[in-house]
Structure 1
């Protein structure tokens, strides 16, 4: 469903956060499904909180450690435990690098959101300009307990809206073979497979079981 607040609000909030003050919280009212075929749908606001690298440091690091643990567990299932030797840094080091790289990008070049339901952190997502009119989605992650509720669709629409407001014409992302729900979501929203984009984190040894995707905005 459309998110009503514009990227201008995101940029203003991001600049406010970088200046040490808490910016406005962006909200999208989502129709969330709980359960399976007999799910009852309720309306609940998903808050997109502009991540502050100091104020939200512990939450950012915790979510990134969860995300990276999940990714590495998936890699072990796909390739075996020996595949972890392709990583030259620990999960904690990677999580800290994410904070430095994504949360300190100056608006309007990027934004990092913490996702909250009723003030509870349920995930994260980020957008950054790669070059020219090309943007990249990063760290799109919903915690396990909150999957299957339609949050991914709301997040995707928020990031696409932000990319348009940045003047980008193309967005790209990558997703592992084991991330079945994410790939279905991206395909349903017009993403197609493409060659790996410039600054990919994924070791080359894994590329044959990774999906690199893009779409126009």
Structure 2
């Protein structure tokens, strides 16, 4: 992790978490020309298993969370890094935190949905071992959704995918 970056687990209702999610929605709205482009039930404090904020020099610059789908699976929700902090390790820090937290919780399969216009996100997840899968759940049949999956190994020291 780059110097000055710190990831903290916070509540869904934490002020910095709210601010980062608000920034994420603005970022997506600019691409999709509507504020709410997410199909299905939006995440809430009641169904988010874990949420974190990444800080750069004590300023919130990104966030991400996990919503458990079943005993072994969770969906990454609201993963976001502010434009000013992109390319500086914040996204890697959030993703590493979420993957490690998943393993602590006994979750070995992470799924996510990203938009078809979010090319940077698609490249980021691909670089980190996520593979495109058929759209699942609420995203089935949604042309603007790209769904991805990663199977986590019990140790994150080597390859993080099960072979």
Give the TM-score, by structure 1 length: 0.60
2:84 to 136, 140, 145: 145
Shift of 1:186: 0.9
Shift of 1:175: 0.8
Residue equivalent to 2:74? 135
Where does 1:7-26 land on structure 2 (aligned, <5 Å)?
none
Residue equivalent to 2:144? 209
CA RMSD, Structure 1 to Structure 2 (Å): 2.7
Q: Does 1:52 align with 2:34?
A: no
Change (3 A) 1:158 1:61: closer
Bigger Rg over Cα: 1
Shift of 1:145: 0.7
Cα distance in 1 for residues equivalent to 2:35 and 2:20:
23
1:63 to 20, 33, 38: 20
Q: Does 1:155 align with 2:94?
A: yes
Cα distance in 1 for residues equivalent to 2:116 and 2:77:
17
Consecutive unaligned residues of structure 1, counting only runs of 5 or more, are: 1-29, 32-43, 77-83, 88-93
Give the TM-score, by structure 2 length: 0.78
Structure richer in helix, relative to its length: 1
Change (3 A) 1:163 1:144: same
* Deviations 1:28-70 (CA, angstroms, capped at 9, x unpaired): xx13xxxxxxxxxxxx14222222355x23x333222221121
Pairs aligned (count)? 150
Residue equivalent to 1:174? 113
